[in-house]
Structure 1
């Protein structure tokens, strides 16, 4: 990621909202409802994703990529800048063009136990947008990897680079918190300035989703079933 505006959910009562990357320095908690509302906007999420994956862009570039008019794009960029998610940067084009970049950071959502009802609603929307965007990106990569021409022209040897892991471990809550912080530290270990990035490096999207397994629900009580339906434990009567 061209250093994504990382927003993560530190494990507390729940691991709410995992959105990307990290940077050195103290974590910043996004507890202001106005900031969360500004972030939980579909177009702004698309813009942040584009700036993160493809690097700095102008409002006109973003408008073409996302199918928006430049007026709407400029407005959303100003709102994102207002809350510290993007900033103007030097561009490579005309001097009058305004270029924007995503600001990296270790931004974390408040733990669920500290969220009020309104905050949880906004967080649910933000998580939905994040998960949907991640799924769309992964499915696009799957389609490209299945296209022989795309593999040769675009992915090349990277078509074989799909590290994927699913695991189950038993942890205490403090251990889960430690696991999360070690993951963030690992990201920071591989972070480096663009000037020091090798020419053959690519933007790699990383995601961590760790959560307690749901407790199995007890079998339904027979009293929950209408009298004309057999309970799950009853056997059908034999008929002649």
Structure 2
């Protein structure tokens, strides 16, 4: 189902800093892919103490990445979910940030790269085991800068058109990792 919201750029240094912590990223990924959880269940799955996961959940909540589910929470047990907001979330250009923001952005990019490498290392096994859900393509072409920008926007429109939020997902829908990156080939 298409998401009409335009792109949102995470350009606030404090939000970037919140995303630059490895455990916070794992918590956010877990909530996004597997749905609501408590600090206790997250701690068990991620191999962390409840106190540690509670602290990082509060940090993610503070910067608007997750929210408590009041109707599921009771007493000291608090349930959390990823905020559904716009699906088109982007990182800012480094030159648009102050030095602290650039450092946080560099860490967010570094962590994202490490996560992408971990996913890539799973590709051969997943392709052999789960071909219906594991798709891959390698491409090479020539584009203008403007054409590449248009291609990127069209790709994001396709993600919005064919993707679903956790709440909208029809039966049989699964969370799927999708990555797109482009690099100039004449600098190899």
Q: What TM bracket, shorter-length normalisation?
A: 0.7 to 0.9
More helix by share: 2
Gaps of 5+ in 1: 1-21, 152-157, 217-240
Inter-partner Cα distance in structure 1 for 2:185 and 2:149: 16
Match for residue 157 of structure 2 among 178, 182, 185: 185
Q: How many residues align?
A: 184
Identify the residue that residue 60 of structure 1 maps to in structure 2.
40
> Which residue in 2 is equivalent to 1:109?
91
Pick closer, same or farther for the CA change 1:58–1:137 going to 2, 3 Å: farther
Q: Distance in 2 between matches of 1:54 and 1:140?
A: 19
Alignment of 1:165-204 (within 5 A): 165-192=137-164, 194=166, 197-204=169-176
Consecutive unaligned residues of structure 2, counting only runs of 5 or more, are none
Please give the TM-score of this superposition, normalised by the length of structure 1: 0.67
TM-score normalized with structure 2 length = 0.83
| TM superposition shift of 1:144 | 5.9
CA RMSD of aligned residues (A): 2.6
- Cα deviation code 1:57-100 (max 9, x no counterpart): 111111111111111111111111111111112676x7443111
Residue in structure 1 matching 2:182, options 210, 214, 237: 210
Give the equivalent residue in structure 1 for 2:113: 131
**1:134-173 paired onto structure 2 within 5 Å:** 134-140=116-122, 142-143=124-125, 151=129, 158-173=130-145
